[in-house]
Structures are given as structure tokens and as C-alpha cells.
């Protein structure tokens, strides 16, 4: 018996108190994938218990091909969306269906054939062993794979990865737009599905939401397969929309972690560092404009008054950055979810009979 088989047969407490084997579900968002979906579905191994295909209002024969396979493989389910909502909307619909179906681990696999389904056990193993809550692929780990990629893709992913590190707090991750992922079902259940981005920012926004609840995320090295499939991701759309979306999430993360949930020396470093840098830059620009209009050089005192706050502010921001990196989530959330759910459980409602009996006891 393999290590993965041992992990999947470990006990999981059911609602009736009985133990059961771990259940693995695969969610496949499908949009215009009639050329690849058949090969993807037939390649999924027996370790998977549920295969949930979410047709995102495709106009080709994607839904028909999946429907023809329903009687061939009983694991396959088809969810058809009436309108196109984006990859995020399709995945979230699949997540909810998998949770209702009693899945323990949910793997997200694209329908375009770029992802190797043989790696599903590798994605599930860290979650089943309790080492991680969310596992994602990293196509940039192997140097041979990187050499085969266009330099534009490498530079673009490096920029997106840095912005994602800032906005999510996961400083040890790379390749944020990689869609090959696996998540613990109980962790997925705690996510605010209504607030997660439904379009191409989905993977990055999901990482931000996981960072808010401090879930443990791991990178898994992999190689992707590229054939004749056509990506629906627009580079121009990414350049125009992703930066401000990351800036929005960064602002939320800093407010949540350093001013609402907690206030520490790092919070002071962030405030003073930003204030000093902004003062130094503003002071320097104003006096540079004055000196230029008068036609003479600024005095040494003016230069130092502008430069010193910037240097001190930069040092404080670097201290804050070091502290923020040290706070990258390391402990899996799945082990604490039972306690968190108990704390969030609503107070029991007292019936009229209970209230009446209580009043009688008090009067007695």
C-alpha cells in the first residue's frame, strides 16, 4: 500500500461518530473545452470519488460531451450555469457542490488539458497528512521548464508574484495564477464565497482570503503541458486591473492584521515609516521647485531635512517588512477549525417552556 493510500484510509469522523475513508473531489471549470475535456475526464484515476464539471455557459459541445460520459463514469456530475460568470464563479459552484457531497479534499483541475491529472495524489497528500490547508502548483520550480517559457511570461509572473506576496502575506509562494490547486473542504467552507473575485483574479483573491483566515499554503513543483489550447486570459486585462486589485487587498490585509485584529510595534513602524517617507518626499519636491524657480542650489540643511526622514522612514518600513515576512502562516488551520466553529456557533435558543420553568424555579 502506498503512502497516499495510507493517508486516504486514515479515519475521518462522520456525523454519526463512525470513521470513514477520506473523500476526494475534483472540480473542473469548463468553458469552450470540447477538444480537451474528454481526455481530461478519462485520465482521472480511481483515487478520486467525485468529478464535478461546471459548464460556464459554453457555446460549443462541452456540455454534450460531458453528458455522454455521465452513464460511463458514475463519479461525474454536471453543473450547467445559465450565464458565463468566469472561472472563479464556476470553481466556487463546484466547491459548494463538493462540500454538499461530503468531500474532504477538493482538487481544482482545468478542462483544457494543461494539467497532469496523475499529480492529484501529490496535491492531496499534504492536506490529508495535516501539513497544509491549500496546495497550489508552481510551474517555475524546474529550470528546464522555465527555459522553455517565453521571457514575457517569466517577467509577467515575477511581477504578479511580488504583488501577490504583498497583498496576501504569503512570502514563500510563487506562480500565483496557477490554477492547479487542492484545498481542505472544511477550510473552503469558511471562505466568504460571495466576496471572492469571480473572474481571472480568482486565484490571487482566493490566496488573499486564505491569508485573512491564516491558512497554511504550500507550493508544489509541477510541469504543465501546452498543446493547441487557447488561453482566455488577457495580458492587457491583467496589466490594467490586477495592480489596483492587489493594492486594494494589501490595504485590507494591513488594516485587518495590524490595526483591527492586533496593534504592535510593527504597526507603529508602518505608520511612522510611511509618514516620514511622505514628508521627506513632499518637502524635497516643494523646495526643489522653489530652488529651480529662483535659479540657485538648495542648502545642505534643506537637502538633509528632506533626505533624513526618507532614510529613517525606509529603515522603519524595512523593519516592518521583516516582521511581516516572519508572520507568514506556518500552522495548518484545519486542526483548529473545530474550535473556531464552536466559538462562532450561535447561542442556543430558549423555548417558552424552558423560560417558564426557569422563572418558576427562581420564584420558588
- CATH number reported for the structural domain that contains residue 59 in this entry: 3.90.550.10
Distance CA 158, CA 120 (A): 26
The verdict on residue 250 lying in a domain is: no
Interval 319-340 mean pLDDT: 88
Mean pLDDT computed over 335-348: 64
User: Taking 60 as the threshold, does the pLDDT of residue 11 lie above it?
Assistant: no
Mean pLDDT within 65-85: 94
Lowest mean pLDDT among 206-210, 264-268, 350-354, 358-362: 358-362
More confident residue, 344 or 173: 173
226 and 277 in a single domain? The answer is no
Span 293-320, mean pLDDT?
91
Q: How confident is the model over 26-43, as a mean pLDDT?
A: 95
- Lowest-pLDDT choice from 10-19, 160-169, 329-338: 10-19
CA distances from 330 to 166, 172, 193, 222, 334 (A): 17, 11, 24, 22, 12
pLDDT given for residue 233 in this prediction: 54
Most confident option among 135-139, 148-152, 227-231: 135-139
Q: Do 197 and 270 fall within a single domain?
A: no
162 in the same domain as 18: yes
pLDDT of residue 149: 72
- pLDDT of 101: 95
pLDDT (tens digit per residue) in 225-243 = 555 544 555 556 666 788 9
Higher pLDDT, 357 or 38: 38
Any idea which of 88-92, 142-146, 162-166, 172-176 has the lowest mean pLDDT? 142-146
Do residues 115 and 11 share a domain?
yes
Q: State how far the Cα of 123 lies from the Cα of 209, in Å rounded to an integer.
A: 20
The answer to whether position 364 is within a domain reads no
* Same domain? 195 vs 285: no
The domain boundary residue, chosen from 196, 217, 236: 236
Within 10 A of 122 (CB to CB), how many other CB atoms are there?
16
3-state secondary structure of 68: helix
DSSP, res 48: -
Residues 292 and 206 in one domain: no
- Looking at the structure, do residues 174 and 299 belong to the same domain, yes or no? no
Residue 165 sits in which domain range? 7-236
Range of lowest pLDDT (4-8, 27-31, 229-233): 229-233
Q: Which residue has the higher pLDDT, 4 or 204?
A: 204
pLDDT at position 305, please?
Answer: 92
So what's the pLDDT on residue 152?
72
- Tell whether 231 and 275 lie within a shared domain: no
SS3 (DSSP) at 71:
coil
Model pLDDT, residue 297: 81
Average pLDDT, the chain: 86
| Domain assignment of residue 359, yes or no | no
Query: What is the C-alpha to C-alpha distance for residues 247 and 262, in angstroms, rounded to an integer?
Result: 21
Clarify whether residues 97 and 146 are in a common domain.
yes
229 and 278: one domain? no
Are 180 and 53 found together in one domain? yes
Q: What is the pLDDT of residue 334?
A: 86
Q: How many Å apart are CA 270 and CA 37, to the nearest integer?
A: 49
246 belongs to a structural domain? no
Q: What is the pLDDT of residue 2?
A: 61
Q: Determine which of 149-153, 186-190, 229-233, 306-310 has the lowest per-residue pLDDT on average.
A: 229-233
Same domain, 284 and 231: no
Specify the pLDDT at position 18.
54
| pLDDT at residue 105 tops 80 | yes
| pLDDT of res. 245 | 93
Alpha carbon separation from 192 to 195, 208, 245, 265, 310 (Å, rounded): 6, 11, 17, 30, 39
Indicate the pLDDT class of residue 32, thresholds 50, 70 and 90. Answer: very high
How many separate domains does the chain show? 2
In a domain, 349, yes or no: no
Q: Which residue has the higher pLDDT, 286 or 236?
A: 286
Amino acid at each position: 500500500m502506498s503512502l497516499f493510500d495510507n493517508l486516504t484510509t486514515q479515519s475521518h469522523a462522520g456525523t454519526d461518530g463512525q470513521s470513514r475513508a477520506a473523500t476526494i473531489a475534483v472540480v473542473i471549470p469548463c468553458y469552450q473545452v470540447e477538444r480537451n475535456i474528454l481526455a481530461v475526464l478519462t485520465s482521472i484515476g480511481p483515487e478520486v470519488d467525485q468529478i464535478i464539471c461546471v459548464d460556464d455557459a459554453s457555446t460549443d459541445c462541452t456540455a454534450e460531451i460531458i453528458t455522454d460520459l455521465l452513464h460511463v463514469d458514475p463519479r461525474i456530475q454536471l453543473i450547467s450555469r445559465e450565464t458565463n460568470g468566469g472561472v472563479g464563479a464556476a470553481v466556487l459552484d463546484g466547491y459548494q457542490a463538493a462540500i454538499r457531497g461530503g468531500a474532504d479534499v477538493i482538487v481544482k483541475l482545468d478542462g483544457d488539458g494543461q494539467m497532469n491529472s496523475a499529480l492529484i495524489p501529490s496535491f492531496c497528500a499534504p492536506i490529508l497528512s495535516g501539513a497544509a490547508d491549500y496546495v497550489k502548483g508552481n510551474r517555475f520550480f524546474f529550470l528546464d521548464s522555465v527555459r522553455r517559457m517565453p521571457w514575457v511570461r517569466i517577467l509577467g509572473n515575477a511581477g504578479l508574484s511580488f504583488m501577490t506576496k504583498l497583498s496576501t502575506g504569503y512570502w514563500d509562494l510563487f506562480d500565483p495564477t496557477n490554477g492547479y490547486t487542492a484545498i481542505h473542504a472544511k477550510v473552503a467552507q469558511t471562505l466568504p464565497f460571495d466576496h471572492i473575485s469571480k473572474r481571472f483574479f480568482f486565484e490571487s483573491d482566493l490566496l488573499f482570503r486564505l491569508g485573512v483566515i491564516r491558512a497554511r499554503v504550500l507550493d508544489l513543483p509541477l510541469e504543465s503541458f501546452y498543446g493547441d489550447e487557447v488561453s482566455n486570459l488577457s495580458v492587457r486585462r491583467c496589466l490594467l486591473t490586477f495592480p489596483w486589485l492587489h493594492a486594494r487587498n494589501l490595504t485590507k490585509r494591513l488594516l485587518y492584521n495590524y490595526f483591527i485584529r492586533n496593534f504592535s510595534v510593527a504597526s507603529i513602524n508602518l505608520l511612522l515609516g510611511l509618514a516620514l517617507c511622505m514628508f521627506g518626499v513632499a518637502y524635497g519636491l516643494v523646495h526643489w521647485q522653489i530652488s529651480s524657480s529662483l535659479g540657485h542650489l538648495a542648502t545642505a540643511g534643506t537637502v538633509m531635512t528632506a533626505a533624513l526622514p526618507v532614510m529613517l522612514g525606509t529603515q522603519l518600513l524595512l523593519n516592518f517588512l521583516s516582521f511581516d515576512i516572519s508572520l507568514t502562516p506556518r500552522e495548518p488551520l484545519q486542526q483548529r477549525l473545530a474550535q473556531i466553529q464552536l466559538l462562532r456557533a450561535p447561542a442556543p435558543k430558549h423555548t417558552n417552556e424552558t423560560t417558564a420553568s426557569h422563572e418558576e424555579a427562581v420564584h420558588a
